[in-house]
Amino acid sequence: MDHRLVSARHVRGHVVRLCFADGAQGDVDLSDDLDGPIFESLRDVGTFAQFRVDPVFRTLVWPNGADLAPEYLREKLVRAAGPLVG
C-alpha cells in the first residue's frame, strides 16, 4: 500500500475525494474526525474546503495548521469501501 496522497478534491460537506499514488481512490467523510481545538474551525464547510495536498508530507493540510496523517486517510478510504466481494 502506498500512503502518499496524490490529489484531493472537495465533494460536499466534509466529504473529500482522495487519490493515492498506487491508484486507490474514493470518497471519505471526515465529519467525525474534526475533534479538538485545531479542527474546530474546520467544522465550517467553507473553512474545511480550504485544504490542499502538502507536496512534502503528501497528506491533507489546512491553512490553520491542521492535518491528517496519510495512513489514517488511507485507512478511512479502505473502511469506506466496505468488504471486498468476490
Top-level class of domain 5-81:
alpha beta
Average pLDDT score over residue span 4-18: 97
Domain boundaries, the chain: 5-81
For the stretch 63-85, pLDDT in tens is 999 999 999 999 999 888 765 44
Q: For the whole model, what pTM was predicted?
A: 0.90
pLDDT tens string 18-29: 999 999 999 999
Cα–Cα distances (Å) from 75 to 28, 52, 80, in that order, read 10, 19, 9
Distance, in Å, from the CA atom of 36 to the CA atom of 24, rounded to the nearest integer, reads 29
